[in-house]
Amino acid sequence: MKKLAITAAAVLAAVFLGTGTAHALVPGVDIMDTEVGYGYNAAKDGIHSAHIEIKPISKVVVGAEYRHWNHAGNETDVYAKYKIGHLYIGAGNRNYYDRDAKLFGLVEGRANVLGPVDAYAGLKVSSEEREYKAGLQLDLVPTSFDVDVNYTYYDRDDVKNEGGLGVGLNYHF
């Protein structure tokens, strides 16, 4: 519950920063460089997630994601990534609900497929697991809302591997 409160506070802080006071509080942060979103994935008994990503400087993204596995527990990722062309490379920390936290590396790619549709894929690797994700993102309202349809597969040591289709809604400001 404490992690949910921290995630909610981060989202509220991002909304506050998006009110126009961002330039006074954090020089260089543009309100168009923040994304908050909600997602649901059908893996296992279902996974609800919330995330926030902020681009404090060109080519650098910092973020946090909270996942609630129905009937299993919660996980929190905190990460940073750097953009090189169409790729992001980065590192982060995953705080698991049932084991010690682990550092992970990540690689993500994104490309425009057709007009408002982007395709993306990503890989996170730690000593505990590999997480594969691929999907399509459709701009519903350019520069504001997009919908995300994806498939995520969790290849974890010592527990049953899980995969499932997911859908999400993201807001950019």
What pTM value is reported for the model?
Answer: 0.79
User: What are the tokens at 145?
Assistant: 């809302």
> What's at 5, amino acid-wise?
A
- Number of domains the chain contains: 1
Structural domain span for residue 44: 2-172
Instruction: Specify whether the CB–CB gap between 65 and 58 falls below 8 A.
Output: no
For the stretch 8-15, contacts whose Cβ atoms lie closer than 8 Å and that sit 24 or more positions apart, written own/partner, are: 10/52, 10/64, 11/36, 11/50, 11/52, 14/52, 14/54, 14/173, 15/173
Q: Which is nearest to 11 in space by CA: 35, 29, 32?
A: 35
Instruction: Specify whether the CB–CB gap between 130 and 108 falls below 8 A.
Output: no
Look up the CATH number of the domain holding residue 42. 2.40.128.20
For every one of its 173 residues, what pLDDT tens digit does the chain have, with 9 covering 90 and above? 455 444 444 544 444 444 333 333 455 544 448 999 999 999 988 999 999 999 999 899 999 999 999 988 899 999 999 999 999 999 999 998 888 899 999 999 999 999 999 999 999 999 989 999 999 999 998 779 999 999 999 998 877 889 999 999 999 98
Partners of residue 133 on adjacent β-strands = 122, 152
How far lies 110's CA from each of 23, 83, 98, 114, 131, in Å? 29, 10, 32, 13, 17
How far lies 113's CA from each of 108, 117, 137, in Å? 16, 6, 10
